[in-house]
A = this chain, B = another copy of it.
Amino acid sequence: MARRLEITKEFIFALKESVRENDENVAIKLLGDMHAADIAEIYNELNIEGARFLFLLLDGEKASDVLAELDEDDREQFLKVLPSEVIAQKFIDHMDSDDAADVIGDLSEEKQQEVLLHIDDVEQAGDIVDLLSYDEDTAGGLMAKEMIEVNENWTILTCLKELARQADEVDEVYYLYVIDNDNLLKGIVSLKKMLLTNNATKINSIVDEDIMSVKTDTSSEEVAMIMDKYDLVALPVVDSIGRLVGRITIDDVVDVIREEAEKDYQMASGLTEDVESSDKVLRITRARLPWLLIGLAGGILGAMVLGKFESSLKIYPEMIFFIPLIAAMGGNVGIQSSALIVQGLANKTLRTDRTIQKLGKEFIVALVNGLLLAGLIFLYNFFTSDSFALTITVSISLVSVIIFAALVGTTIPLVLNRYKIDPAVATGPFITTMNDVLGLLIYMLIGRGLYAVFTG
């Protein structure tokens, strides 16, 4: 019953054979009932000619579904080798307006124009032009134009006729959207309610007016938050005066939610652009370099700090050995603290008006961790080192650095958030680097002071 298919090496091999031998029958049979998402997955296995050969075998509906599922980069590369006319008539004509706008939006200005002029269905072309005007990261950029709109004065029967008329165009119908004569959104009617209501009833007697909607300029992040929080599968989009202009479905929002989470993860890992391991060397390098430069600057600052204490290091050379420990611990604790805050802010479980309490709690957690670790390193040094000054210095420095790093890691994302800067940039290399340097400073200061006490 399931159309799902494990994509085996044997399958890929057979498919490549069919491409090499230009054997359309075998290829069609292999692709058979495969889901578009699965076909898109094997795109990476093929060269561009192979992909074109297979694409042109698929019927328009399936081919355009596959195109919509492709990675942006792969799609761009693939569309480059196709004439505008083929793009328009083989693909765009069969696509939902939101997918079509995404695809066309990635083309060059010039090619966009050409493709738009070759679309046979003028309504579709118009919808795409409308959608292209919205920012990608807003409700307008997420929404599709395909939905069933019905007038509040219609009967169920008239609504049913409208549904039948548009049934081919709108794949997934969850609700009918009820509008008045001015196109203002009045509410929604679920298909379940339609099925359970007499055909002669007027639609406005069963309309649910107590619904959520967003404006075209609502950020995609907020759209995702709303649909997630209120468990919605579809969300109507209205313009600034409340006229219905589109709807967003949950599948598009799932991508937003995942991308948001991935973005935070990438930031924390020191990647400044949305990259994948399949991207080009140049792009991956560019995404990594900014953080590494910060790390380099931090390293040079660290060298300067140590340079300032050169004389102390000469007198107490055993302090050198624990430089990596102090630096690393400051970085680790800083990341842990900031990650908790960043995540709490991202999923809205954190109340920002309780900064003092947060800091107090972080202080306690850091103190507990710090004392534990300092105790362990105290035991280690007590038994392996003959310098009691070193033993004391490392332990006290470790507690201090851990507490200090925890407070920095907690404060920085909260401050950034207050100034509307994405707190995710605070995690990862930035906080690590900062805590590295400050940790070294604390270590050297405590060391110099304590050694002076112990050695008089």
Contacts and interface: CB of A to CB of B under 8 A. Distances in A.
A4 B349 contact: no
A343 interface: yes
Interface residues of A, number: 122
A153 to B, nearest CB: 19
A420 interface: no
A341 interface: yes
Interface stretch (A102-110, A133-141, A273-281): A273-281
Interface string A51-76: 00000000000000000000100000
B340 A322 contact: no
Given A264-B265, A313-B317, A313-B320, 6 more contacts: A163-B192, A278-B349, A293-B373, A323-B324, A324-B437, A335-B428
A365 B397 CA distance: 37
B271 A339 contact: yes
Interface of A: 1-4, 9, 33, 35, 37, 44, 71, 160, 163-164, 167, 172-174, 185, 187, 190-192, 194-196, 209-213, 226, 228-231, 233, 250-251, 254, 257-258, 261-262, 264-266, 268-271, 275-278, 281, 284-285, 288-289, 291-293, 295-296, 298-300, 302-304, 306-307, 310, 313-314, 317, 320-329, 331-333, 335-336, 338-341, 343-344, 347, 349-351, 353, 358, 361, 364-365, 368-369, 372-373, 376-377, 380, 402, 427-429, 432-433, 436-437, 440
B268 A268 contact: yes
B302 A325 contact: yes
A125 B285 CA distance: 58
Contacts of A164: 196
A192 B376 CA distance: 67
Contacts of A329: 292, 295-296, 299
A313 B324 CA distance: 15
Given A230-B35, A335-B428, A262 B347 contact: yes
Nearest to A345: B277
A300 B440 contact: no
Contacts of A349: 71, 276-278
B368 A281 contact: yes
A340 B173 CA distance: 38
A7 B42 CA distance: 48
Contact of A325 (B4, B299, B307): B299
A241 to B, nearest CB: 13
| Majority secondary structure, A binding face | helix
A173 B195 CA distance: 11
Nearest to A270: B336
A2 B236 CA distance: 11
Nearest to A299: B325
Contacts of A331: 328, 331, 432
Given A4-B226, A160-B195, A213-B2, A324 B302 contact: yes
8 nearest CB pairs, A to B: A299-B325, A261-B261, A269-B339, A302-B324, A191-B191, A303-B321, A231-B251, A277-B340
Contacts of A167: 192, 196
Contact of A285 (B163, B251, B327, B368): B368
Nearest to A351: B44
A314 B316 CA distance: 11
Nearest to A284: B365
A250 to B, nearest CB: 5
A83 to B, nearest CB: 29
Given A1-B213, A261-B261, A270-B335, A440 B324 contact: yes
A282 to B, nearest CB: 8
A338 B322 CA distance: 27
A223 B210 CA distance: 32
Given A284-B340, A321-B307, A365-B281, A269 B271 contact: no
B3 A212 contact: yes
A136 to B, nearest CB: 19
A358 to B, nearest CB: 7
